[in-house]
């Protein structure tokens, strides 16, 4: 199960709402989202819906994607991905390209975990837009390994993806060592490259 709610997080949520007649169900946490603007109320409710939310919670979660707390923006998208899976692929793609949504690492995480092929255009466009940062080693938001892992699944069906992968190979030494290691581990295309050297292995 993607993005599961662990016991520590559940205990934190229960403690937060302990004096507010907590009922661990979707209706309770949707009511929190509808009636409270307190950051930690919203954050805890978004996390809890990962455990008890259904597709009925998705509209309320979408309303929190631009909430003025970065943790809420990030977890709202992951909770949607957990609940809706590929059905909300257009949303994950839109968030990746939306300048107002700054949690790009979470957008690519949602895409990698839940999106179908409809996100290919957005992923390729995002990295094309940021190719200069990739070449200069200045794209620090951890999007590339998730994006590459997602694209690897579609490399046989979209001829643009091999072209993009070759572009990544051409700037391999510019990437952070940690990213190189993740890409080699996750994507078959790059297995011939050394994660800790500038030449092919």
Single pTM value for the model: 0.94
DSSP states along 118-132: GGHHHHHHHHHHTHH
Task: Indicate if the pLDDT at residue 147 is higher than 80.
Answer: yes
Residue 2: pLDDT band by 50, 70, 90 thresholds? Answer: low
Q: What is the pLDDT of residues 66-119, one digit of tens each?
A: 999 999 999 999 999 999 999 999 999 999 999 999 999 999 999 999 999 999
Q: How far apart are CA 118 and CA 6, in angstroms?
A: 31
């Amino acid at each position: 199960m993607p993005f599961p709610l662990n016991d520590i997080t559940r205990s934190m949520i229960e403690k937060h709402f302990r004096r507010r007649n907590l009922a661990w169900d979707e209706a309770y946490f949707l009511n929190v989202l509808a009636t409270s603007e307190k950051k930690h109320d919203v954050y805890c409710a978004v996390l809890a819906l990962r455990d008890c939310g259904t597709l009925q919670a998705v509209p309320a979660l979408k309303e929190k994607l631009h909430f003025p707390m970065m943790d809420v923006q990030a977890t709202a998208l992951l909770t949607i991905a957990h609940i809706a899976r590929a059905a909300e692929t257009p949303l994950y793609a839109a968030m990746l390209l939306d300048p107002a949504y700054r949690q790009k690492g979470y957008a690519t995480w949602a895409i990698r975990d839940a999106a179908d092929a409809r996100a290919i255009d957005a992923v390729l466009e995002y990295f094309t837009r940021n190719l200069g940062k990739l070449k200069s080693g200045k794209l620090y938001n951890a999007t590339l390994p998730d994006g590459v892992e997602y694209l690897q699944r579609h490399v046989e069906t979209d001829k643009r993806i091999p072209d993009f992968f070759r572009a990544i190979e051409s700037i391999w030494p510019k990437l952070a060592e940690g990213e190189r290691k993740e890409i080699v581990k996750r994507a078959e295309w790059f297995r011939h490259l050394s994660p800790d050297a500038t030449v092919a292995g």
